[in-house]
Amino acid sequence: MLKHYKITITGKVQGVWYRKNTLNKTKELNIKGFVKNLDNGDVYIEAEGHENELNTLLDWCAKGPEFSKVDTVCFKESDLEYFEHFEILH
Protein backbone atom coordinates (compact mmCIF):
# COMPACT_ATOMS: atom_id res chain seq x y z
CA MET A 1 0.00 0.00 0.00
CA LEU A 2 1.39 3.38 -1.00
CA LYS A 3 1.79 6.11 1.60
CA HIS A 4 2.83 9.76 1.51
CA TYR A 5 5.14 11.18 4.19
CA LYS A 6 6.01 14.83 4.79
CA ILE A 7 9.42 14.82 6.50
CA THR A 8 11.37 17.67 8.11
CA ILE A 9 15.00 17.18 9.12
CA THR A 10 16.75 19.64 11.44
CA GLY A 11 20.41 20.06 12.34
CA LYS A 12 23.46 20.58 10.16
CA VAL A 13 21.70 19.39 7.02
CA GLN A 14 22.44 22.09 4.44
CA GLY A 15 25.77 22.40 2.64
CA VAL A 16 26.58 18.73 3.36
CA TRP A 17 25.11 17.10 0.22
CA TYR A 18 21.97 16.02 2.11
CA ARG A 19 19.62 16.61 -0.84
CA LYS A 20 21.84 14.80 -3.38
CA ASN A 21 22.29 11.83 -1.05
CA THR A 22 18.53 11.78 -0.42
CA LEU A 23 17.96 11.64 -4.18
CA ASN A 24 20.33 8.66 -4.44
CA LYS A 25 18.67 6.86 -1.51
CA THR A 26 15.14 7.36 -2.86
CA LYS A 27 16.18 5.97 -6.26
CA GLU A 28 17.54 2.90 -4.47
CA LEU A 29 14.24 2.53 -2.57
CA ASN A 30 11.96 3.39 -5.54
CA ILE A 31 10.44 6.35 -3.67
CA LYS A 32 8.87 9.27 -5.54
CA GLY A 33 8.55 12.91 -4.45
CA PHE A 34 10.98 15.74 -3.77
CA VAL A 35 13.53 17.19 -1.37
CA LYS A 36 14.34 20.86 -0.81
CA ASN A 37 16.18 23.18 1.54
CA LEU A 38 14.09 25.48 3.72
CA ASP A 39 15.05 29.07 4.50
CA ASN A 40 15.42 28.23 8.21
CA GLY A 41 18.22 25.70 7.55
CA ASP A 42 16.07 22.55 7.64
CA VAL A 43 15.54 20.04 4.83
CA TYR A 44 12.01 19.13 3.75
CA ILE A 45 11.03 15.94 1.93
CA GLU A 46 7.74 14.74 0.50
CA ALA A 47 8.02 11.04 -0.23
CA GLU A 48 5.66 8.42 -1.61
CA GLY A 49 6.25 4.70 -1.58
CA HIS A 50 5.51 1.51 0.28
CA GLU A 51 5.59 1.77 4.07
CA ASN A 52 8.66 -0.47 4.47
CA GLU A 53 10.70 1.65 2.04
CA LEU A 54 9.49 4.89 3.64
CA ASN A 55 10.52 3.61 7.07
CA THR A 56 13.94 2.71 5.65
CA LEU A 57 14.17 6.28 4.30
CA LEU A 58 13.26 7.68 7.74
CA ASP A 59 16.04 5.60 9.32
CA TRP A 60 18.48 6.91 6.72
CA CYS A 61 17.28 10.50 7.28
CA ALA A 62 18.14 10.19 10.98
CA LYS A 63 21.74 9.36 10.07
CA GLY A 64 22.09 11.49 6.95
CA PRO A 65 25.18 11.72 4.75
CA GLU A 66 28.73 11.71 6.10
CA PHE A 67 29.16 15.39 6.99
CA SER A 68 25.65 16.06 8.30
CA LYS A 69 24.61 16.20 11.94
CA VAL A 70 20.90 15.45 12.25
CA ASP A 71 19.11 16.74 15.34
CA THR A 72 15.52 15.67 14.63
CA VAL A 73 13.42 13.93 11.98
CA CYS A 74 9.70 14.70 12.13
CA PHE A 75 7.15 13.26 9.75
CA LYS A 76 3.43 13.03 9.22
CA GLU A 77 1.35 11.01 6.84
CA SER A 78 -0.57 12.90 4.17
CA ASP A 79 -2.75 12.29 1.11
CA LEU A 80 -1.13 10.71 -1.93
CA GLU A 81 -0.09 13.07 -4.73
CA TYR A 82 1.10 10.33 -7.11
CA PHE A 83 4.52 11.80 -7.92
CA GLU A 84 6.11 10.38 -11.08
CA HIS A 85 9.75 10.63 -9.95
CA PHE A 86 11.95 12.03 -7.18
CA GLU A 87 13.67 15.38 -7.65
CA ILE A 88 15.62 18.09 -5.90
CA LEU A 89 13.70 21.37 -5.80
CA HIS A 90 15.57 24.68 -5.60
Query: Cβ neighbours of residue 87 under 8 Å, at least 6 residues apart?
Result: 23, 34, 35
State pLDDT tens for residues 20-69. 999 999 999 999 999 999 999 999 999 999 999 999 999 999 999 999 99
> Per-residue pLDDT averaged across 9-19, rounded?
98
Mean pLDDT of 5-26: 98
Catalytic residue among 19, 21, 24, 40: 19
Q: What is the pLDDT of residue 57?
A: 99
pLDDT at residue 86, rounded to an integer:
99
Q: Which of 21, 24, 30, 37 is catalytic?
A: 37
Flag whether the pTM goes above 0.85. yes
Question: Is residue 24 annotated as a catalytic residue, yes or no?
Answer: no
Among 3.30.70.100, 3.30.420.80, 3.20.20.80, 3.30.70.360, name the CATH number for the domain at 2-82.
3.30.70.100
pLDDT for 58: 99
So what's the pLDDT on residue 89?
Answer: 98
37 is catalytic: yes
Half-sphere exposure of 76 (CA within 13 A, CB side): 2
